[in-house]
């Protein structure tokens, strides 16, 4: 510990914890070593909230960026399974609310975790592609990340660009192994490719409930006369849309998840469920990549989170939509001009910031759809390394 750090750290009033701020894909997270955090879950979460500056819409007194994409935490520890290299626990940190939601996972942040594991020497690497086997504690699934390295360190790649990220950095290829059913135990939790419900406003809603990476309800955008290519600002200004989406989220969680495997109390069910609206690709006017070039897409989609409309697109959202594209009868499959039926394929989604592509390997087992793996390329960068200071008074004695 430096003399300055020792001078400003009084253990009775100030608690300091080592961390790194890292970008993974289109997300930014604070990464902690599990050994550096309190073992007590309540104390751990209070420290994390204080580090982010939550609850506060501006997160002015912490490291959070006042946006869901920058209010994320990754807790990385040594492997607790013989088939992986590191454990990774993701938490979505509330901004205006004093909450840390561990009921979901984040694929973008997994790219940062792979880089962190290499930097911290949690895995042995040689020149060339390095494999980091990650155990996602949130859902028990395995992610295999491949990172190019030189002299044992990640190598920058000018081609490793993702939408809304201005600089090329280390390319991280993420392969999600057997990704279905991490939340409910089933790829299609309701047992059918489509369900229906009606809201209190009388809106008839068709949706596909898919559990792959995270749990998503996928709804046609034309349910509200939308195309699915609207900007986040446009969607947030649609009268009554947010309220109706939240009613749908809560209703589906109550009706469909109450008997699902590992279901938490009713008050937490809706926190597990994400919502995506989708539309036909010919309706998207700006399917561009990071260089501004037009790219072919299969679908347009937007993710509507409880706090904000997603400004880019979640990796787990891309996984769910790609899985749905391979299942006949889903909302997604019904919009496609070319079905994903040959066992392997690439699926491209147009979103508010560009295009995200997924490569899927899938099939059928006794007539039931099976997802063997989904691969998505991201990039990652370590932005800052240091200590975050919080008041010792926030920790539970």
Q: Give the pair of three-digit tokens for residue 258.
A: 């109450």
pLDDT of residue 5: 54
Q: Classify residue 317 by burial, with Cβ atoms within 10 Å: 0-12, 13-18, 19+.
A: buried
Query: ∠ CA 113-118-121 to the nearest 5 degrees?
Result: 120
pLDDT of residue 15: 86
For residue 378, how far is the Cα from the chain centroid?
12
Q: Give the pair of three-digit tokens for residue 337.
A: 């001009």
pLDDT of residue 307: 74
Give the helix ranges, DSSP H, for the chain. 3-8, 41-52, 107-119, 232-236, 241-256, 266-272, 315-325, 331-335
3-state secondary structure of 251: helix
String of b and e for 175-188 (b: at least 16 CB within 10 Å)?
bbeebbbbbbebbb
pLDDT of residue 266: 45
Q: Give the pair of three-digit tokens for residue 283.
A: 């309706």
Phi-psi group of 128: left, alpha or beta (phi > 0 → left; psi -120 to 50 → alpha; rest → beta): left
String of b and e for 14-41 (b: at least 16 CB within 10 Å)?
ebbbebbbbbbbbbbbbbbbbeebbeee
Helix axes 315-325, 107-119, angle to 10 degrees: 130
Q: What is the pTM of this model?
A: 0.89
3-state secondary structure of 272: helix
Cross-strand pairs, 358: 347
Contact 393, 184 (CB under 8 A): no
Q: Residue written as tokens 């290829």?
A: 173
Q: Which domains are seen in the chain, by residue range?
A: 3-179+381-394 (3.10.310.10), 195-369 (3.10.310.10)
pLDDT of residue 152: 77
pLDDT of residue 170: 85
Per-residue pLDDT of the chain in tens (397 residues, 90 and over written 9): 555 555 555 556 788 999 999 999 999 999 999 999 999 999 999 999 999 999 999 999 999 999 999 999 999 999 999 999 999 999 999 999 999 999 999 999 999 999 999 999 999 887 788 999 999 999 999 999 999 888 777 876 655 555 555 565 788 999 999 999 999 999 999 999 999 999 999 999 999 999 999 999 999 999 999 999 999 999 999 999 999 999 999 999 988 775 444 444 444 567 889 999 999 986 444 444 444 444 589 999 999 998 789 999 999 999 999 999 999 999 999 999 888 877 999 999 999 989 999 999 999 988 899 999 999 999 999 999 999 999 877 776 5
pLDDT of residue 2: 58
Give the helix ranges, DSSP H, for 185-286. 232-236, 241-256, 266-272
Query: ∠ CA 382-385-386 to the nearest 5 degrees?
Result: 165
């Amino acid at each position: 510990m430096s003399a300055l750090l020792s001078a400003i750290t009084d253990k009775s009033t100030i608690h300091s914890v080592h961390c790194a701020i890292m970008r993974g894909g289109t997300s930014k997270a604070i990464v902690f070593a599990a050994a550096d955090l309190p073992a007590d879950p309540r104390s751990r979460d209070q420290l994390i909230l204080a580090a982010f500056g939550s609850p506060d819409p501006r997160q002015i007194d912490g490291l959070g960026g006042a946006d869901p994409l920058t209010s994320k935490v990754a807790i990385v520890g040594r492997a607790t399974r013989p088939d992986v290299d590191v454990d990774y626990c993701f938490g979505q940190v509330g901004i205006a609310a004093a909450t840390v939601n561990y009921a979901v996972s984040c694929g973008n942040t997994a790219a940062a975790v792979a880089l962190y594991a290499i930097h911290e020497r949690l895995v042995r690497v040689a020149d060339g592609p390095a494999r980091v086997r990650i155990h996602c504690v949130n859902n028990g699934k395995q992610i295999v990340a491949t990172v190019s390295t030189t002299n044992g360190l990640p190598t920058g790649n000018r081609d490793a660009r993702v939408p809304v990220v201005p600089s090329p950095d280390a390319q991280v290829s993420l392969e999600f192994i057997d990704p279905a059913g991490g939340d409910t135990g089933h790829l299609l939790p309701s047992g059918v490719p489509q369900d229906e419900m009606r809201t209190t406003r009388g809106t008839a809603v068709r949706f596909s409930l898919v559990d792959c990476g995270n749990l998503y309800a996928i709804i046609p955008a034309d349910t509200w006369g939308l195309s699915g290519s609207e900007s986040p600002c446009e969607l947030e200004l649609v009268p009554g849309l947010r309220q109706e989406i939240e009613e749908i989220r809560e209703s589906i969680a109550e009706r469909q998840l109450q008997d699902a495997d590992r279901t938490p109390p009713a008050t937490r069910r809706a926190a597990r469920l994400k919502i995506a609206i989708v539309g036909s690709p010919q309706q998207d006017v700006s399917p561009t990549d990071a260089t501004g070039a037009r790219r072919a897409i299969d679908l347009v989609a937007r993710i509507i989170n409880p706090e904000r409309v997603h400004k880019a697109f979640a990796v787990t959202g891309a996984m769910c939509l790609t899985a749905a594209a391979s299942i006949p009868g889903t909302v997604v499959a019904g919009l496609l001009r070319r079905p994903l039926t040959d066992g392997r394929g690439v699926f491209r989604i147009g979103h508010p910031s560009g295009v995200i592509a997924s490569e899927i390997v899938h099939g059928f087992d006794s007539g039931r759809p099976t997802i063997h793996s989904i691969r998505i390329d991201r990039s990652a960068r370590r932005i800052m390394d240091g200590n975050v200071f919080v008041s010792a008074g926030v920790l539970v004695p």
